[in-house]
Structure 1
Amino acid sequence: MGFSEILKSAHSGWRYLVLVLLLLAIANAFSGWLGKKPYTEGNRKLNVFTLISAHIQLVLGLALYFMNNWYKVDSSIPMGRYWKMEHISMMIFAIILITVGNARSKRFDSAVAKHKTIAIYFTLALLVIVAAIYTMTKADPSRSLFGIS
């Protein structure tokens, strides 16, 4: 097994950690926002771990993108266009949303405002990620949405 295959396996497996942390952070943020709960150190750590896991996923993905020369793929083929442009741009956008949401939440003194900011930005990021996965199923019919055909 070569280095590229190890990176691909890491990137494929790490996505589950990112999704689980993102879902937990979103649920936690909505609970804090709607329940007017205090913003605790545990909330902050969950948000930071979500942010870090997403950035690690980005680094793994970028390494694969450039090592496998996916930027040279023919864009006229739907699957080539997806991997060359759509996947990378949508995922970078999702990670930007997570990063901005985490950074903006730090600017507020109000716990409700912190939770609300995380809830909105992280949910938007999750929607972009799900849209990217759905788009992948259209570009490559052999793949399915979270293993659901």
Structure 2
Amino acid sequence: MIMDLQGGFYVIKILHYIISATFLIIAVILISRSITGIVKKLKYSFFDRFLSLIFIINLYLQLIFGLILFSNLGSSLGYDYVSADGTVKMVSKRFWPIEHIALMIFALLIANLGFIFSNKSQESKSKYRNVLVYYCLAIVIIAYSLSSIYLF
């Protein structure tokens, strides 16, 4: 039984990494298309909207897989992040159950605001600007959250 749980855990973890890679690729494409759209005054196309939707879907999939991984942290897989003894004082133990999830949810909310504002805008320039500002802010929050693993 434990072997099956471990196999499922690692499959979800690999899916989480794969979706992270696709998220990064889509983010780079969106940022470059937004900058190009603003500078060259291009029309906001169906493809731009499609990329924005894929960006948001990727974030939601990351949230789902991340919550599945988080729910297994206290299981028999050998992870002991969720114990209460001294967790708040130790950054390494506090990071995954508290800070990472909170920052990821905040980044998802910021990206959703950008998606909503870009869809409600009438002008192409404001659509590109909303995508650029809100998605870049979400990406910075995500990068900070992930860099906390190595910096602190």
Q: What TM-score does the superposition give when structure 2 sets the normalisation length?
A: 0.84
2: CA distance, partners of 1:36 / 1:80: 48
Match for 2:72: what amino acid?
Answer: M
Larger Rg: 2
In the TM superposition, what is the alpha-carbon distance from 1:34 to its structure 2 partner?
2.3
Match for 2:117: what amino acid?
Answer: R
Residue 45 (structure 2) pairs with residue 32 (structure 1): no
Q: Identify the match of residue 57 of structure 2 among 25, 41, 52.
A: 52
Unpaired runs of at least 5, structure 1: 140-149
SS in structure 2 at match of 1:39: coil
Provide the aligned C-alpha RMSD in A: 1.6
Q: Identify the match of residue 20 of structure 2 among 4, 11, 15.
A: 15
SS in structure 2 at match of 1:106: helix
2: CA distance, partners of 1:117 / 1:58: 23
Q: Is the 8 A contact 1:25 1:46 kept in 2?
A: yes
Q: Identify the match of residue 77 of structure 1 among 68, 90, 100.
A: 90
Deviation per CA, 1:19-76, whole angstroms, max 9, x where unpaired?
A: 1111111111121122211011111111111111111111100111123237724232
Match for 1:113: what amino acid?
Answer: S
In the TM superposition, what is the alpha-carbon distance from 1:138 to its structure 2 partner?
2.2
Match of 2:132 in 1: 119
Fraction of identical pairs, as percent: 24
In the TM superposition, what is the alpha-carbon distance from 1:105 to its structure 2 partner?
0.6
Unpaired runs of at least 5, structure 2: 1-5, 75-79
2: CA distance, partners of 1:127 / 1:28: 18
Q: Is the 8 A contact 2:73 2:82 kept in 1?
A: no
SS in structure 1 at match of 2:120: coil
SS in structure 1 at match of 2:42: coil
1: CA distance, partners of 2:118 / 2:24: 20
Match of 1:43 in 2: 48
Q: 1:58 to 1:118 in 2, by over 3 A?
A: same
Q: Is the 8 A contact 1:65 1:71 kept in 2?
A: no
